[in-house]
Amino acid sequence: MTPVITAAFKSWADVSPLKFAKAGKGMKGDITIGFFPRYHDDGNPFGAQDFAHAYLPEDGRLHYNANWGWTFDPTKKGEKRKVDVQSIGVHEIGHTLGLDHSADKSAVMYPYFAPGMKKRDLTDDDKKGIKALYPE
């Protein structure tokens, strides 16, 4: 899983002054990522259609919903009904960095996503949002 999560972070690092590194064993990162069941002791259970949720920078948690079928490549045969780990990662990392949803339907930060979709590339709208929060 690490390569797709690394790629999701790289999407944001490539267009901002932010740098990301995996926390070493026994260290707590500023952003923590995991797969969790619907009820997972954060006071925010997943709804039936929720793929994931994330918290703002002060908290930094990103939770994937373990009840969904996940894929590393939604274009592969047999994977079309699964959810792309990297696409959701790019979107949710945007939230952990402080971004809200976008009204631009092509943006990674647009709130709609469906199994089989692949939305990994930041749009101008996404880039404008992150640069407003973290100017170079």
Asked whether residue 42 is marked as a ligand-binding residue, the answer is yes
Asked whether residue 91 is marked as a ligand-binding residue, the answer is yes
User: Helix crossing, 85-96 with 2-13: angle to 10°?
Assistant: 50
Asked whether residue 63 is marked as a ligand-binding residue, the answer is yes
Asked whether residue 40 is marked as a ligand-binding residue, the answer is yes
CA dihedral 123, 127, 128, 132 (to 10 degrees): 160
92 in active site: yes
Query: Cβ atoms within 10 A of the Cβ of 36, count?
Result: 18
Please say whether the beta carbons of 136 and 14 come within 8 A: no
Q: Which of 58, 79, 92, 136 is catalytic?
A: 92
Asked whether residue 53 is marked as a ligand-binding residue, the answer is yes
Contacts of 120 (CB under 8 A, 6+ apart): 7, 8, 11, 84, 86, 87, 90, 108
Asked whether residue 84 is marked as a ligand-binding residue, the answer is no
Task: State the binding site for Ca(2+).
Answer: 30
Task: State the binding site.
Answer: 30, 40, 42, 53, 63, 91, 95, 101, 109
Q: Which residues does the annotation mark as catalytic? A: 92
Task: State the binding site for Zn(2+).
Answer: 40, 42, 53, 63, 91, 95, 101, 109
